[in-house]
Amino acid sequence: MEAATTATAAMVWLRKGLRVHDNPALDAARRGAGRLYPVFVLDPRYLRPDPAAASPGSARAGLARVRFLLESLTDLDARLRRLGSRLLLLRARDDVADAVCAALKDVSIRPSPPLSMQNLTGFFSSAVGYILTIASQWNIGKLCFESDTEPYALARDKKVTDFAMASGIEVFTPVSHTLFDPAEIINKNGGRPPLTYQSFISIAEEPPEPVMEEYSELPPVGDTGEYELLPVPTVEELGYGDISQEEIPPFRGGETEALRRMKESLQNKEWVAKFEKPKGDPSAFLKPATTVLSPYLKFGCLSSRYFYHCIQDVYRSARNYTKPPVSLTGQLLWRDFFYTVSFGTPNFDQMKGNKICKQYHRIYSPITFGKKYDPNGNYIRHFIPVLKDMPREYIYEPWTAPLSIQKKAKCIIGKDYPKPVVDHETASKECRKRMGEAYASGRLDAIPSKGKPSNLSQRKMSHGDQDASNSSIAKLLKRSRAE
DNA sequence: TTGACGTTGATAAA
DNA sequence: TTTATCAACGTCAA
């Protein structure tokens, strides 16, 4: 007992990866640790209600996602408690990295002004005070957290890593959110992310096996000092007011639910073996044509490697099974593909400054697309009840129905349901025309004028840029010759 | 160097 | 109802 209080203390900082199974960061943190502090920092940027948001939610997440996260935290806490541990929730007043640093070591680096002087209200306003008083008592010797490739996370984690290393704390950041290490894939591809699925597949080999050690117990948390034992807040406590009208999605967060859903899907071995994504019905909502496991993978309630491993198990017992890209494993590989491309592409989430962004001539028709997958319009009938009795042949264009039909369906267009805002045919043609013009003018700017190459802009380009640019120009010239 | 291909979808033509 | 065409470009095989 004496040893437990003096032995090395480790912190596992949880962000995504909200699970006990296949959690290399948790596994590394508990090894040799006398005390283990499993910490999650409530991030105001992610959780604080944003009054300016178009629908209820924070600046970064909608209410459904906020709720899913809170449910996942509740479940994780319960699962840790069964192993003699528990989840320690910290509130960041503003910056998550500051909160983690403060918990790692007695922090005098960022004295916060008295709360009364700050224009802060609500759940997150009282945060840092607690952390400052507990900090020095934890004596963390080792910090483990799962690597995260998103830009916001990279900046946040660098700050924490730099601080921890400078403080003599051992830092371990395994890759376990994706099947593969995106940085390693990019390395193997010569420093650039593979930009087609096929090239990604040819580089990727077999993903690592999941770490599936069954724990009977985890090291105790030990003395939490002055730390206020904070339960997982409710959305109401976070400051989300009148949400009684909000429909709560049927998908509950958490590792327990994730594993249950996965088992349920994988039980039907024939369905698993025959799964082909393009053959699924995207309009199916009562009985989805997919596993609906992606939100669980996103928060790491389910390990993608464990899921992959379990699918392979089913394949082994099947005579025949589908292959990537359409198969279930193919879907996991798509996820890895996009994580890799986004990690290796600056400004991936924007058109501006995004070198691989293709120019968008695709206009989806709200009429044609629906008719193809859901000719009876069941989706519309469910979510827009006023249209539920509209005959099948008019369900996608109810304004074309004769008045007698509209009356019979108890839905007069212009009264019970609005008239079309635009005429799709003319609007899409106009859009297509103007996008074409904008695209053409943009491209022409990039072509050096005859006999007078604009080497000014070319000088700034790397070899790769020149190749890409020249080949585009060649194609454009070829096209204009053909015309 | 060239041509074919890719989780594609919309639309016009046949 | 089926088929051809378009629009983009990285990648790979020929």
Residues A313-347: pLDDT tens digits?
A: 999 999 999 999 889 999 999 999 999 999 999 88
For the segment A6-48, what is each residue's pLDDT rounded down to a tens digit?
A: 569 999 999 999 999 999 999 999 999 999 999 999 999 999 9
Placement of tokens 């267009």 in the chain? A413
Question: Residue A210 falls within a domain, yes or no?
Answer: no
Whether residues A280 and A328 share a domain: the answer is yes
Instruction: Give the CATH number of the domain where residue A412 resides.
Output: 1.10.579
Residue-averaged pLDDT of chain A: 82
Who wins on pLDDT, A323 or A307?
Answer: A307
Residues flagged as binding site of A for FAD: 290-294, 331-338
Q: Using the predicted structure, report yes or no on whether residue A388 has a pLDDT greater than 70.
A: yes
pLDDT for A365 beyond 90:
no
Q: Is the CB of A322 under 7 A from strand B?
A: no
Domain hosting A261: range is 255-344
Q: Among A129, A153, A177, give the residue marking a domain's end.
A: A177
Last residue of a domain, one of A177, A204, A219: A177
Do residues A335 and A355 both lie within one domain? no
- The CA–C1' separation of A33 and C5, in angstroms, is 65
Cα distance between residue A266 and residue A78, in whole Å: 25
Q: What is the pLDDT of residue A441?
A: 64
Residues A18, A154, single domain; the answer is: yes
Q: Read off φ and ψ for residue A17, nearest 5 degrees.
A: 60, 40
d(CA A449, CA A210): 57
pLDDT above 90 coverage of chain A, percent: 57
Asked if strand B comes closer than 7 Å to A210 Cβ, the answer is no
Which region among A114-123, A257-266, A393-402 has the lowest average model confidence (pLDDT)? Answer: A114-123
The residues, ordered by sequence, that sit 6+ positions from A25 with a Cβ below 8 Å of its Cβ are: A12, A13, A14, A17, A144, A145, A146, A172, A173, A174, A176
Do A337 and A374 fall within a single domain?
no
- A82 found inside a domain: yes
On the CB side of A374, how many CA atoms lie within 13 Å of its CA?
18
Strand B atom within 7 Å of A364 CB: yes
Residues A451 and A380 grouped into a single domain: yes
Using CA atoms, how far apart are residues A196 and A199, in angstroms rounded to an integer? 5
Q: Is residue A475 part of a domain?
A: yes
- Number of domains forming the structure of chain A: 3
A369 touches strand B (CB under 7 A): yes
Instruction: For the beta carbon of residue A176, count every other beta carbon within 10 angstroms.
Output: 25
Task: Kindly determine whether the C-beta of residue A372 is less than 7 Å away from any atom of nucleic acid strand B.
Answer: yes
Residue A240 lies in a domain: no
Residue A427 pLDDT: 79
Let me know whether A35 and A164 are in one domain: yes
**Same domain (yes/no): A18, A160:** yes
> Is A187 a domain residue?
no
Same domain, A104 and A41: yes
A27 plus A171 within the same structural domain: yes
Protein-covered nucleotides of chain C (CB closer than 7 Å) are 7-12
Per the domain annotation, does A402 fall within a domain?
yes
Residues A441 and A474 in one domain: yes
pLDDT, tens only, A83-94: 999 999 988 888
Q: Can you give the pTM of this predicted structure?
A: 0.85
CA separation for the pair A29, A12 (Å, rounded): 6
Q: Across residues A401-415, what is the average pLDDT?
A: 96
The edge-to-edge listing of strands for the beta sheet with A9-14 is A88-91, A35-42, A9-14, A140-144, A170-172
Higher pLDDT, A462 or A411: A411
Domain membership flag for residue A279: yes
Asked if residue A351 and residue A321 are part of one domain, the reply reads no
- Among protein residues, the one whose C-alpha sits closest to the C1' atom of B5 is A198
Q: How far is the CA of A165 from the C1' of C10 (A)?
A: 41
Residues A373 and A301 in one domain: no
- Residue A321 has what pLDDT? 92
Task: Report, as an integer, the average pLDDT of A104-122.
Answer: 50
Last residue of a domain, one of A132, A152, A177: A177
CATH assignment of the domain containing A97: 3.40.50.620
Confidence of residue A477 (pLDDT cuts 50, 70, 90): very low
Model confidence at A306: pLDDT above 80: yes
Please check whether residue A335 lies inside any domain of the structure. Answer: yes
Find the CATH number of the domain harbouring A300.
Answer: 1.25.40.80
For the beta carbon of residue A347, count every other beta carbon within 10 angstroms. 13
